[in-house]
């Protein structure tokens, strides 16, 4: 089953994100005064050939815990979908 | 005694560490380079994970290096009580590998900082700072973009409670003040040790200040501490 996992890794709310602060300042100085906060994370696309969506979800969660996110400083979320 | 210096693709301070061990420390100290793809630690008494950008710092600093075949041997070695010393990128690898608590995130200032820092030595009852005086101020340079030490409040409190903070950034007089903190590290932390006292991680580079020609010799105190500790253990 050809699947695509879209993984988003973000700094935990308690972790200071100097990149996000700086990007937020940049946006505000460009006139986007409504910007209250920016958090900078990572986006990963993973192409999978798996037995099923449920199995794939478990495997992707495992990938996140073991490598893609550092649980000390980052949270992750993902979705898994069919691909052609 | 024998030091092992680990080399990952992208490591840059391996030769500097090797030079200190081979050329500065004296005839009692041997050097072995340990290649990341090997598993053999070549009978070393202390493993050094040096600075650099292992695996290009891809994903996160140290994230890929921790899965190198050699790291399995390093983790077993640490579990048996072997001395493991992570410097700069090596500190990041040790945190990613779970041998030390916390993580190193991007510098608060969003700059790569390459400069001399002062370190307050808070603990000396370990193999790495045994020759230092307690509360001695060392002058050792840093060179990193991601040396901002973070740990959750409970972990941080436990580290402080157990006296596991070995080095803190301070001013030349030994005062731990915000202006002496080059990267935003919580509690000005520059180096921590594990509970057992055999795994040390630090962001500053002692191998870059172990000869007067390089502007200082404070780093040599740490190499000498490890060497004397290991020699004592070997002759005991």
Strand order in the sheet with A42-49: A42-49, A2-11, A74-82
Q: Are B6 and B84 in contact (CB under 8 A)?
A: no
| B144 is an active site residue | no
Residue B214 per-residue DSSP state? G
Residue B92 has phi, psi (to 5 degrees) of -60, -40
Starting at the earlier edge strand, list the strands of the sheet with B2-7. Answer: B30-35, B2-7, B46-49, B83-87, B199-202, B189-193, B165-170, B113-121, B137-144
Question: How far is residue A11 CA from its own chain's centroid?
Answer: 9
Task: State the pTM of this model.
Answer: 0.94
Q: Residue ranges of the alpha helices (H) in chain B? A: 14-19, 69-79, 89-96, 153-161, 218-235
Q: Which residues of A touch B98 (CB under 8 A)?
A: none
Q: Percent helix, strand, coil in chain B (nearest 5)?
A: 30, 25, 40
Q: Residue written as tokens 């030091």?
A: B3
Strands B148-150 and B30-35: unpaired
In this prediction, residue B26 carries a pLDDT of 87
| Rounded CA separation A45/A40 (Å) | 17
What confidence tens digit (pLDDT) does each residue in B131-182 have? 999 999 999 999 999 999 999 999 999 999 999 999 999 999 999 999 999 9
Active site residue B95: no
pLDDT tens digits in sequence order for chain B, 236 residues long: 999 999 999 999 999 999 999 999 989 999 999 999 999 999 999 999 999 999 989 999 999 998 899 999 999 999 999 999 999 999 999 999 999 999 999 999 989 999 999 999 999 999 999 999 999 999 999 999 999 999 999 999 999 999 999 999 999 999 999 999 999 999 999 999 999 999 999 999 999 999 999 999 999 999 999 999 998 888 87
Tens digit of pLDDT for each residue in A27-55? 999 999 999 999 999 999 999 999 999 99
CA distances from A38 to A20, A23, B146, B178, B221 (A): 5, 7, 20, 25, 44
Q: Do A19 and B110 touch (CB under 8 A)?
A: yes
Q: How many CB pairs under 8 A join A and B?
A: 38
Within A1-84, where are the H helices?
18-29, 53-63
Q: How far is B39 from chain A (nearest CA, A)?
A: 21
Residue B85: φ, ψ to 5°: -130, 110
Q: ipTM value of the model?
A: 0.86
Chain-chain contact of B105 with A73 (C-beta, under 8 angstroms)? yes
Instruction: Please say if B118 is a catalytic residue.
Output: no
Nearest CA distance, B236 vs chain A (angstrom) = 40
| CB atoms inside a 10 Å sphere around CB A74 | 19
- Contact predicate B153/B108, CB 8 Å: no
pLDDT per residue over A58-73, tens digit each? 999 999 999 999 999 9
């Amino acid at each position: 089953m050809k699947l695509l996992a879209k993984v988003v890794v973000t700094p935990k709310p308690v972790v200071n994100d100097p990149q996000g602060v700086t990007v937020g300042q940049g946006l505000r100085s460009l006139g986007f005064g409504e910007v209250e906060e920016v958090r900078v994370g990572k986006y990963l696309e993973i192409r999978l050939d798996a037995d099923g969506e449920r199995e794939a979800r478990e495997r992707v969660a495992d990938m996140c815990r073991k490598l893609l996110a550092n649980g000390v400083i980052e949270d992750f979320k993902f979705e898994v979908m069919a691909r052609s | 005694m024998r030091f092992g210096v680990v080399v990952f693709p992208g490591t840059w301070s391996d030769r500097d560490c090797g030079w200190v061990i081979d050329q500065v420390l004296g005839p009692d100290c041997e050097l072995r380079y340990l290649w990341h793809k090997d598993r053999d630690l070549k009978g070393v008494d202390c493993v050094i994970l040096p600075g650099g950008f292992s695996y290009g710092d891809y994903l996160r600093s140290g994230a890929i290096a921790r899965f190198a075949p050699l790291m399995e041997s390093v983790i077993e070695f640490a579990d048996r009580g072997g001395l493991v010393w992570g410097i700069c990128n090596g500190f990041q690898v040790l945190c990613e590998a779970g041998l030390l608590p916390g993580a190193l995130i991007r510098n608060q200032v969003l700059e790569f900082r390459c400069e001399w820092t002062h370190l307050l030595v808070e603990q000396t009852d370990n193999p790495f700072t045994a020759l230092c005086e307690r509360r001695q101020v060392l002058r050792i340079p840093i060179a990193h973009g991601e040396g901002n030490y973070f740990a959750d409040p409970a972990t941080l409190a436990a580290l402080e409670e157990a006296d596991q903070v070995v080095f803190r950034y301070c001013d030349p007089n030994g005062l731990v003040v915000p202006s002496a903190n080059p990267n935003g590290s919580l509690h000005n932390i520059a180096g921590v040790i594990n509970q057992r006292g055999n795994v040390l991680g630090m962001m500053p580079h002692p191998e870059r200040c172990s000869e007067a020609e390089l502007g200082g010799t404070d780093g040599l105190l740490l190499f000498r501490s490890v060497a004397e500790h290991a020699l004592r253990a070997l002759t005991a």
